[in-house]
């Protein structure tokens, strides 16, 4: 590679380099930082045909109301370097204090550690990061939450990537029914990653290889199998742009292969995808596609709020999204996102019966964001939501259940410190 | 209003303005702060007539010993502004790490988020605060704990305002019996507040209107009903006095109206009160009165430590206190407080029987405080305690139970950082 | 005492003085600090003779895998003084966010408070520390974890000092079987300590007397009995050496006397020991010996992972270790440690039967440490492990169980900030 340079701004929107690789002059001994997101959400609270609360019309994570306020995220972290001793070592610690999948589940609680990593930047072309941190993958989940442009995740990211930690029993149809025993994985794992970024003219080529427990946040493993994560990206940076919303065009691909232990048995869990992002200061485009093979989330049993959760132990799914942004003024962005999740596409014993697992989730999200400044913003979203069961018989009760899905209004005030 | 000025010191003892409205020159990007309170408490451990431990003679919150040490509060927080970007946005995050009602209950744990708010100070006369924060109300609970002058709360505040989150079943006498499912509310709610303070000569007139979940700390709501909080105060400031113990005379009134869901049914929970404070550097006076209507706390069942807790779903109560302080030296204050809680005053089916709910709690607290400096202090309290069941028959067993109530000695070392 | 000086460096390796006694010019208002330790551990996963996972071959604290990564410790703390108000008051707060005995057990969770103390340094020769902090005792547990030279504790410290909080039932053989109800004690207690250090030439003489709940981390007490802790040391400092790894020779002795409540009954728990340390920059020697009387930990029942834990309510044990270090280069240290725990040495009804409790744990640990700088290091350990049941009949099944114990490989990356 000619003209390669490994040095990289800590504030770049290259998520691989954003944490743990601060330049010596940008890395104090210990910098306190974090952010808070406060949501208001509302649906029409259409009931499940059986008269109970429909899970998909209730607010996450308690699923006990169709409207309300929530401190969705409140994170406090510390980051820095061995400054002035050694500019090659960085660390990053963060804890979640909000109310979401990370702080709930049976053993979950506020104060959950989400990140604790040490990065050794001594080796040219092969930085080493050790500990608990985000696994390299889909842009929607890999990017920093403070620059996420919507209130809620797409269906694909929510159900296939933001992994819930569930255990219970498995029935004869390979449907696992259980409860959330611990914090959500939140696309993080404990392990070791080798990675780096190489500059070539305006382009930045990055790679990452990670090897981890595959067992969620701040737990030792629950089996000897480890997960393997691969990631590659190339990004053309426009001009001298910097910061988490820098102007660039990026292409990336990734995969994750691992196993999960459920009721004492190990099942495959594989994911892979590719995507691109574009932002020139006025227009923003993001598109991605990914597939899931093996374990996938099946949702609350019968879509009733409070019931056991289901997991399909050996299924397939695909998801894609197109996300558009347009800055009508420097501090106002209009957004539209279209996302589809085609879940449980594999034919099995229940296919074509009333118990057919196949669902197509389609959501169109219309949004607007106002930026008070770089650190504080408010966003409004309206989600037009649809779920279809294409292979279930016309007379199957599931169609009535899915008809009770409401559209959703949400507002969020966010601040980074 | 002539001569109105909305600008306000962040360090004022106007609790409405204390958090989230720091002036630009007082608000760094992120200021770490907090405090710790370490208690020692002791009673004679008089037993319940049935031979078990009497709940009211044990230490909060575990109720497992009549004497011992406790890290009652250990709070770490971060506060600041979008400095230097925007002086109009403030934030305030805090977590509780001590051992008290906030960190106990079934889902409670240390690291509980107590505050996470963002304040937008852009609009003259109508600041907007969003998130989780103290609800405007009674001075005893609204004031900052670091300037609280006693070790323990009055009976009224403890049983009517510092709300426990309890769920279980309701019997035919409208007595709900259950357990603490989550952290105590700690007079906080998640929602939105519009508020401001207006200066007029030496006087400051303040108002606040808040709309929130009414469901405790860092939870989404559990019903669609929201709580409404109203608050107004007027305060004459003496001279140039500043800081959380500034010299002033204040009058205030407040109300809270909401509903609570218990075993799937919604019940009213209304509170309202008024009061005044006076402090001139040598003498301190505080008096307040408030009423409760709807749900009120009924205490541990039969006053036995460890038993289920009871809630009266439709009752009334009134509480008042008179609190006096006298600085015999600049760093020594003598204190006396007299507080009365008249609980469950409404006649119901059980009135006049052995199960009569009416209780009158009377406590006289004698205290002394020594201030090492503005940030570190020690206080000693002796509480002369009495509970009466005025409407129960003379032969009712409850009289024997209440006779086992002991006086209580407590000491506390506190430090703010 | 001639030439006595009480002032002391906050950075000294005198653990008694390390926290809460910072000099005025070393103590800011609030200094954020902490550390992270990320482990990888592995055994051969030899199974228990009954085919299940053998507890001693699995990773702490979940005991669900024989190999894996773990964020063993992630601590964030705040320390400082009432600076500039009063140089005589210090405080120290710390929370544990990693995955270990402190953050697990039924009521345990991440965000557990480990330290919350206020120190009053006003009185010559008798500093006073109040709150939750490490109890003065064995060097291995009393020293700061950031300068601990191995990945895992010795058997004696692990089983006799790092106290688990267990409750359940007690059988006729005085074997208590139960579960971990709360966070491990982590050699900490809530109470009050009087202590100081006196300089006499090159020597520093220290003492500490502590009185505490004896009930673990951030809990009020569970009985009225309190624990008494005594500690004395004398240390010759070599030259002007400072810091947590300062060059010196130290001798110390300590004792702890208390009671624990198990299933409503109180049992004695006494510990006492003595030891020495030596470090001259090239060679390091540490030796200690201690005894246990009363309650001692009996390990997972039948050594099966996941089973109930056992406690012996009235037994005796002794433990000792010899720990050697040699710096082959300034940033590389080779280590060897030999430790023996002679557990349950008292003859009881089960002695000589298949249920004989007597066990001798012997571990030889070979290690190497590389110091990237003063704050970041990596260490590798290989533990040659043996457990013997010397008094059980030759045909007792326990011998087969103990033969399944594997040696253990571990690696740790650590960083202090």
Between C2 and B26, where is the model more confident?
A: B26
Instruction: With beta carbons less than 8 A apart as the criterion, state whether A273 and A289 touch.
Output: yes
Partner C contacted by B268 (CB < 8 A): no
pLDDT of residue A209: 98
User: Who among B40, B62, B112 is closest to C222 (CB)?
Assistant: B62
pLDDT of residue C172: 81
Contact C64 A120 (CB under 8 A): no
Contact C62 A113 (CB under 8 A): no
Q: Is the C-alpha dihedral spanning A80, A85, A89, A93 positive or negative?
A: negative
User: Who among C107, C132, C220 is closest to B64 (CB)?
Assistant: C220
Q: Is the pLDDT of residue C3 over 70?
A: no
Measure the CA–CA gap between C206 and C127, rounded to whole angstroms: 11
Chain A residues with CB inside 8 Å of B89's CB? 372-373, 375-376, 415
Chain B residues with CB inside 8 Å of C117's CB? 36, 38
Partner A contacted by C351 (CB < 8 A): no
What does pTM read for this prediction? Answer: 0.94
Contact B372 C32 (CB under 8 A): no
Instruction: With beta carbons less than 8 A apart as the criterion, state whether B54 and B303 touch.
Output: yes
Chain A residues with CB inside 8 Å of B93's CB? 34, 36, 74, 76, 97
Helix (H, G, I), strand (E, B) or coil at A394: coil
Chain C residues with CB inside 8 Å of A107's CB? 109
Chain C residues with CB inside 8 Å of A103's CB? none
- Residue B84 preceded by cis peptide, ω within 30: yes
Percent of chain A with pLDDT over 90: 82
Measure the CA–CA gap between B372 and C255, rounded to whole angstroms: 33
Neighbours of chain C (3+ CB pairs under 8 A): A, B
pLDDT of residue B102: 96
Q: Is the C-alpha dihedral spanning B21, B26, B31, B33 positive or negative?
A: negative
pLDDT of residue C28: 66
- The separation between CA A116 and the C-alpha centre of its own chain, rounded to angstroms, equals 18
Question: C131 has which bridge partners?
Answer: C117, C191
Contact A224 C64 (CB under 8 A): no
Instruction: Tell the burial category of C3 from Cβ atoms under 10 Å away from its Cβ (0-12, 13-18, 19+).
Output: exposed
Q: What are phi and psi of A126, to 5 degrees?
A: -150, 75
For A111, which residue in chain C has the nearest alpha carbon? C111
Give the model's confidence band at C304: pLDDT under 50 very low, under 70 low, under 90 confident, else very high: very high
Question: How does pLDDT run across B120-132, given as a tens digit for each residue?
Answer: 999 889 999 999 9
Contact C220 B111 (CB under 8 A): no
Average pLDDT of the residues in A31-42: 95
Question: Looking at B213-264, which runs of residues are DSSP E strands?
Answer: 227-237, 248-262
Contact B78 A74 (CB under 8 A): no
Measure the CA–CA gap between B163 and B175, rounded to whole angstroms: 17
Partner A contacted by B4 (CB < 8 A): no
Q: For strand C408-416 and strand C31-42, is the pairing parallel, antiparallel, or unpaired? A: antiparallel
User: Who among C34, C64, C375 is closest to A222 (CB)?
Assistant: C64
Q: Is the pLDDT of residue B318 over 70?
A: yes
Chain C residues with CB inside 8 Å of B146's CB? none
Mutation for testing the A interface, residue in C40, C97, C380 having most A CBs under 10 Å? C97
User: Who among C34, C40, C110 is closest to A78 (CB)?
Assistant: C34
Helix (H, G, I), strand (E, B) or coil at A164: coil
ipTM above 0.95, yes or no: no
Question: How does pLDDT run across A287-310, given as a tens digit for each residue?
Answer: 999 999 999 999 999 999 887 999
Place of tokens 């219970």: A168
Give chain A's mean pLDDT. Answer: 91
Average pLDDT of the residues in C368-383: 96
Measure the CA–CA gap between C380 and C335, rounded to whole angstroms: 10
pLDDT of residue A26: 52
Q: What are phi and psi of C140, to 5 degrees?
A: -60, -40
pLDDT of residue B189: 97
Contact C93 B110 (CB under 8 A): no
Q: Which of B376, B282, B365, B284 is nearest to B329 (CA)?
A: B282
Q: Is the pLDDT of residue B24 over 60?
A: no
Contact C223 B33 (CB under 8 A): no
Q: Is the pLDDT of residue B9 over 60?
A: no
Nearest-neighbour CA in chain A from B263: distance (Å):
13
pLDDT of residue C31: 86
Average pLDDT of the residues in A10-15: 54
Partner C contacted by A34 (CB < 8 A): no
Contact A38 B213 (CB under 8 A): no
- Residue A11 preceded by cis peptide, ω within 30: no
Question: How does pLDDT run across A311-369, given as a tens digit for each residue?
Answer: 999 999 999 999 999 999 999 999 999 999 999 999 999 999 999 999 999 999 999 99
Average pLDDT of the residues in A219-233: 94
Q: ∠ CA(B31), CA(B32), CA(B35), 5° rounding?
A: 130
Nearest-neighbour CA in chain A from C106: distance (Å):
9
Contact B85 A373 (CB under 8 A): yes
Give the model's confidence band at C26: pLDDT under 50 very low, under 70 low, under 90 confident, else very high: low
Instruction: With beta carbons less than 8 A apart as the criterion, state whether B133 and B187 touch.
Output: no
Question: Looking at C213-264, which runs of residues are DSSP E strands?
Answer: 227-237, 248-262
Beta-carbon neighbour count of residue A293 at 10 Å?
A: 17
Q: Is the pLDDT of residue B306 over 70?
A: yes
Measure the CA–CA gap between A26 and A113, rounded to whole angstroms: 24
Instruction: With beta carbons less than 8 A apart as the criterion, state whether A104 and A61 touch.
Output: yes
Percent of chain A with pLDDT over 70: 94
Q: Is the pLDDT of residue B144 over 70?
A: yes
Nearest-neighbour CA in chain C from B113: distance (Å):
11
For A104, which residue in chain B has the nearest alpha carbon? B107
pLDDT of residue C86: 77
Contact B113 A109 (CB under 8 A): no
Nearest-neighbour CA in chain C from B20: distance (Å):
20
Question: How does pLDDT run across C172-215, given as a tens digit for each residue?
Answer: 877 889 999 999 999 999 999 999 999 999 999 999 999 999 99
Question: How does pLDDT run across B184-234, given as a tens digit for each residue?
Answer: 999 999 999 999 999 999 999 999 999 999 999 989 998 889 999 999 999
Q: Is the pLDDT of residue B27 over 60?
A: no
Contact B36 C131 (CB under 8 A): yes
Mean pLDDT lowest among A131-140, A235-244, A268-277, C197-206: A235-244
Nearest-neighbour CA in chain A from B5: distance (Å):
24
User: Who among A62, A67, A74 is closest to B116 (CB)?
Assistant: A74
Question: How does pLDDT run across C111-141, given as a tens digit for each residue?
Answer: 999 999 999 999 889 999 999 999 999 999 9
For C372, which residue in chain A has the nearest alpha carbon? A86
pLDDT of residue A152: 98
Q: Could you tell me where the DSSP H helices lie in B116-232?
A: 139-142, 155-156
Mutation for testing the A interface, residue in B219, B259, B260 having most A CBs under 10 Å? B219
The interface residues of chain B toward chain C in range 99-138, judged by CB-CB distance below 8 A, are 99, 103, 109-112
pLDDT of residue B2: 33
Nearest-neighbour CA in chain A from C1: distance (Å):
41
pLDDT of residue C34: 94
Chain A / chain C CB contacts < 8 angstroms: 133
Chain C residues with CB inside 8 Å of B414's CB? 118
Nearest-neighbour CA in chain C from B48: distance (Å):
17
């Amino acid at each position: 590679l000619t003209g390669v340079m490994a040095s990289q701004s800590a504030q770049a929107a290259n998520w691989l380099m954003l944490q743990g690789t601060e330049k010596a002059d940008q890395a104090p001994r210990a910098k306190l930082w974090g952010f808070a997101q406060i949501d208001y959400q509302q649906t029409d609270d259409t009931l499940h045909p059986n008269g109970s609360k429909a899970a998909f019309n209730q607010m996450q994570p308690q699923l006990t109301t169709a409207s309300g306020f929530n401190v969705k995220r409140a994170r406090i972290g510390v980051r820095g370097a061995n400054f002035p001793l050694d500019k090659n070592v960085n660390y990053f610690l963060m804890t979640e204090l909000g109310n979401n999948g990370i702080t709930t589940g049976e053993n979950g609680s506020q104060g959950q550690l989400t990140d604790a990593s040490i990065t050794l930047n001594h080796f040219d072309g092969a930085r080493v990061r050790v500990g608990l941190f985000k696994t390299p993958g889909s842009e929607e989940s890999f990017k920093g939450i403070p620059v996420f442009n919507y209130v809620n995740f797409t269906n694909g990211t929510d159900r296939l990537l933001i992994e819930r930690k569930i255990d219970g029993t498995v029935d004869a149809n390979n449907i696992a029914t259980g409860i959330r025993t611990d914090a959500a994985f939140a696309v993080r794992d404990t392990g070791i990653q080798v990675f780096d970024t190489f500059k070539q003219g305006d382009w930045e080529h990055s790679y990452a290889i990670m090897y981890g427990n595959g067992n969620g946040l701040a737990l030792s493993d629950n089996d000897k199998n480890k997960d393997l994560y691969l990631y590659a990206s190339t990004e053309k940076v426009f001009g001298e742009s910097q910061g988490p919303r820098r102007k660039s065009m990026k292409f990336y691909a990734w995969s994750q292969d691992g196993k999960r232990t459920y009721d004492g048995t190990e099942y495959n869990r594989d994911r892979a995808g590719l995507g691109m992002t574009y932002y020139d200061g006025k227009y923003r485009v993001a598109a991605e596609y990914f597939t899931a093979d093996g374990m996938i989330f099946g949702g609350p049993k019968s879509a009733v709020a409070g019931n056991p959760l289901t997991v399909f132990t050996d299924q397939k799914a695909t998801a894609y999204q197109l996300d558009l942004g347009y800055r009508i003024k420097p501090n106002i962005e209009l957004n539209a996102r279209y996302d589809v999740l085609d879940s449980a596409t594999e034919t099995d014993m229940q296919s074509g019966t009333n118990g057919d697992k196949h669902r197509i989730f389609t959501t169109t999200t219309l949004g607007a964001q106002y930026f008070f400044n770089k650190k504080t913003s408010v966003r409004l979203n309206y989600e037009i939501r649809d779920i279809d069961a294409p292979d279930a018989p016309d007379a199957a009760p599931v169609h009535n259940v899915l008809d009770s899905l409401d559209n959703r209004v949400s507002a969020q005030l966010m601040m980074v410190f």
